[in-house]
Structure 1
């Protein structure tokens, strides 16, 4: 660095970025600093990770359970999905969903309508949304309060069940807690709540929430690819539960779905959490493929555009590595907390 007359420091983060970001969860303008570019890119990465993890988990559980279906067609359809999706490179998934599927959709005026509520076009996916008029920070605070309250209710219910054999009415208490928090919020802020449905105005849709083509393609690719692995993890965890557990449940008069939901899956989850965490970490790190299709994640806008303009490779790479490390450790920490929560008492 001394030979090349380069200095080491983070003073560049206060400089004006001067370039635009086509899609951002947080408000952004070209006059914002490189430090805010880092935050915006990180928020976009977190958005992809959350959407991908939720979608892949739901789809993976459905596929894993379908693999064990006694119906020949359902079981083999799930097997075909797994073998077809997990044996293709993830980069190819991203390119196919973006170039072949999303970009091949009709323009906004001829968009594919899903019950006049959602619309698919080459400009993205347009979905209905509940508008509150609150800022993003306020919504995040409300979400944290709701999640914390629900976690406390579930924890106390579990502890009481272990002590007395009878748990709290957690479903009813959770519904009351959500209603109380929302009512208090809207009474204090006088926020207006209304349901927005996308409507065509001119050459594009207005209202609701819009997912850019890049975001939609990336989330679908990550979800469908990782769901094929999660499906096999779910199948393996279910089959690892002792067969006598199923037979005991069936002998008590439970049907197959109740046996899965009440007896088998709760035991399988204890075996499923560690490998499922590894899959979540893979999905998070694979989100960096967003730069291939131009989605403005942290790698695209910070490692790409910011590095090209400032030349601060060591600082930018170090910050990006630290961001991914903290996100990965966060996922691992939440997984460990859940693992301890599901641990059998006395072991």
Structure 2
């Protein structure tokens, strides 16, 4: 009888635990870190990171977690309610969830390296190899045939060190794009969850399109990686950065997996770090970031420098961007050069925008 009661109790708890908890947080850690984390084949983040888990109540429901890192074996795991149940009653959880009214459960995975090639194995003469040119698209990039999608984010209403202009910048840049053929998503004063959801939605629309991402607000660097700060960020020290902000690398990864025709990422996010007093690191601005193939990354100022927010309605960078974006005579490379010239002149050479590009096609914002 006792066993039957215990079994009934376990089944009852398994049934009600997720529904009472709301949306739980799964904190994924890997050894080593910086592994790509997928949930049901959808890219979520780079470890260590948090992902939301909401169970619908369906019996036997399982989420599939996949971890990928170059040089290591691909690993997949099934995540079900029984695993949360075990951790809950073992006390291995943190009350509260960043995604809802549930709890936070930490799962740590050790990655296994790919085996080294056996150089002592018997050598076999390889079959003839036909060398082909490096991959080239079947047809040249034709901007008139490509859809254009944009995500524009402006964050001003920070609890710590609010900024007057980013929302204005985002609104004005977003307003300049529809006439140039862009389908625009505008997000203003976004918290962490809203930013993450907007980026995921944007990357789904970016397939086979020209994808333009613009962020204005606070940004900072940590260990050579850049982070975009939501308005609800609460960071007491560097350890909070990865969990309270959005990695710029996540934006690039999402767009890469979206298989877009061209990615243009603009970061006007190099203001002074509002959390610098509590950080041991005294680095300023954003870190240098090399553009992946088929991408252009533009910073409103040089790596390690700080950008001006602007005394008028817009930042110097946004002002120059809006002035030149519809010019049909400017290639995308010439466009960013003209923007840089304007910003340098407006700030008396105190702010010099910087661009990294690995795009070999032809594109113009102004057609």
Structure in which a larger fraction of residues adopt strand: 2
Shared fold, TM over 0.5: no
TM-score (norm 2): 0.18
TM-score between both structures, scaled by the size of structure 1 = 0.19
Higher helix share: 1
